[in-house]
Structure 1
């Protein structure tokens, strides 16, 4: 890792940043730098889906690829610790996702904590998946297997939780899911069973401290964080899950728990691929499309998407 990159990451890892106190100004900074880009040759559509109880709308942004290679669809849940991030901050990464995969991407603008703590964000993500599965023909699909769930970080956590909910509540559900450096466990203190929390939890941008603060905002009740819909690794039953690709980052406090979830899924009889992206840090999927880390990630993703 280059020295100036290490320095930048160390600054981002400052213990002076407290997500429980600073999330509002961090959101504002993100929003300032993520004004909706304009590309004349790119098609972006904004739509809304009613929540299950019709109390609010759930915005969904649709990205068409520059060159369509498949009629299949990716349903994307963004990262940000369930607290920051939105469809604007993830517009460029979703453009890249559509272009790299040649598939249409649906990005969900779920409600954020702490204004809307668990299960609000998960309910929104499940609602969109449920509505799409109930209306496959409206999105150009004929079968649930053509829909793949994908999410990064907290969004990877939401994708895993949605998969568990779909199995528990429906007869049909997506046959594939892609989890990018996901949160899968409930404890990110020094008591965590995962070594990467201690070895990679201080100087690489996302810190173990920040993850704990995000979790506190998402679900303040420590005991309830052990729910499998918050910590999928705590699930008693991981059978009948979609074929899964898990990408982890070498220098990420969440690395070991993401890989552990893949191994747990495999032990439960599911088909799983686990790939660690070396020399990477948490959040690399949002890097520019020419980044070697992004290129490597999409090589893995496309191989997975086209496999039987």
Structure 2
């Protein structure tokens, strides 16, 4: 629930006035959203507001072993240690985003955490609806070790799942499905994640208009992702099984994000199920604020620092 003292960051407020005016003009002109517009919008947003990331060794490979050879980009910062490597799933509502779009963000996480980071180019809807992207992530979890071995990249066979928005949904979904199987997931970091495909939380209504990510756009994403082939409730990580076998979890939420409440509820359910969960809340932020870093540099820096501190002992 929003707190009485919660106030939107002033710079975001000014920026959103212009964004909302532009959105209103597009709707009045009969704008029709397409996968092209969704992908270009996220790519341009990130390019305009996130500077290139730090220099480090970068390579690419395919992860074989599942139904599809999954392309991945591997980041190796100079300060990397021997701990579990990060598997990163980008945001974009299962329809947008890419390894290339998220390159600066992944570089920042790799350097801040001092770990090898593997960014996953999972398949996107509507061309590849549910569960293609989820299957890609699970395939990477199961077969990444062999792919890294072929590249001569050292690892300890343990992984940390990390993702924002729709990528957070994939991470939580994979953790849910793998919790009863022998697996190599030590932790998951979910950044303003999408966890309830039924869209029933109060924050969807409170923040579903005027704060960049709008309710009607979320519904459009989900319609393209499921295409009527799956019960959204059954696919939702928030409505899955919560046991002590889930990995240690860190969830980051933003006060003015429509997905806020599902993140809060997920933390509660992880704890009730017997696993460890931590929650970091940003009381003046909106969804996807890492993609507009130059507007909110302090909040973005706090994310990278806190995630690094959380993973220090993992």
TM-score, normalized by length of structure 2?
0.84
Q: 281, 305, 312: which one pairs with 1:306?
A: 312
Q: Aligned residue for 2:191?
A: 180
User: Retained in 2: the 8 A contact 1:41–1:66?
Assistant: no
Give, in whole Å, the separation in 2 of the partners of 1:298 and 1:40. 13
Q: Aligned residue for 1:278?
A: 283
What's the offset of the Cα at 1:29?
A: 5.2
Give, in whole Å, the separation in 2 of the partners of 1:20 and 1:84. 16
| Per-residue deviation, residues 234-255 of structure 1 (Å, max 9, x unmatched) | 1134441000000011110000
What's the offset of the Cα at 1:173?
A: 2.4
Q: Secondary structure at the match of 2:285?
A: strand
| Per-residue deviation, residues 160-203 of structure 1 (Å, max 9, x unmatched) | 111122224x3132121101111111222xxx2x2211111101
Q: Aligned residue for 1:21?
A: 33
Say which structure, 1 or 2, has more relative contact order (CA 8 Å, 6+ apart). Answer: 2
| Per-residue deviation, residues 29-78 of structure 1 (Å, max 9, x unmatched) | 5557859x98894321111122513xx43110111225335543110001
User: How many correspondences in the alignment?
Assistant: 296
Return 16-25 or 287-296, whichever deviates more: 16-25
Give, in whole Å, the separation in 1 of the partners of 2:96 and 2:65. 21
Matches within 5 A, 1:1-308: 1-2=9-10, 3-11=13-21, 14=24, 16=27, 21-28=33-40, 30=42, 41-50=55-64, 52-53=66-67, 56-132=68-144, 139-144=153-158, 147-168=159-180, 170-188=181-199, 192=200, 194-221=201-228, 224-227=231-234, 230-288=235-293, 291-307=297-313
User: Which structure 2 segments of 5+ residues have no match?
Assistant: 1-8
User: Retained in 2: the 8 A contact 1:13–1:203?
Assistant: no
Return 8-17 or 277-286, whichever deviates more: 8-17
User: Retained in 2: the 8 A contact 1:175–1:242?
Assistant: yes
**Cα distance change, pair 141–34 in 1 and its aligned pair in 2 (3 A):** same
Return 240-249 or 284-293, whichever deviates more: 284-293
Return 214-223 or 19-28, whichever deviates more: 19-28
* Cα RMSD, aligned residues only: 2.8
**Cα distance change, pair 63–136 in 1 and its aligned pair in 2 (3 A):** closer
**Cα distance change, pair 69–186 in 1 and its aligned pair in 2 (3 A):** same
Give, in whole Å, the separation in 2 of the partners of 1:220 and 1:119. 11
What's the offset of the Cα at 1:226?
A: 1.6
| Per-residue deviation, residues 217-236 of structure 1 (Å, max 9, x unmatched) | 11122861122xx3011113
What's the offset of the Cα at 1:142?
A: 2.8
What's the offset of the Cα at 1:10?
A: 2.4
**Cα distance change, pair 288–236 in 1 and its aligned pair in 2 (3 A):** closer
User: Which structure 1 segments of 5+ residues have no match?
Assistant: none
Q: Secondary structure at the match of 1:214?
A: helix
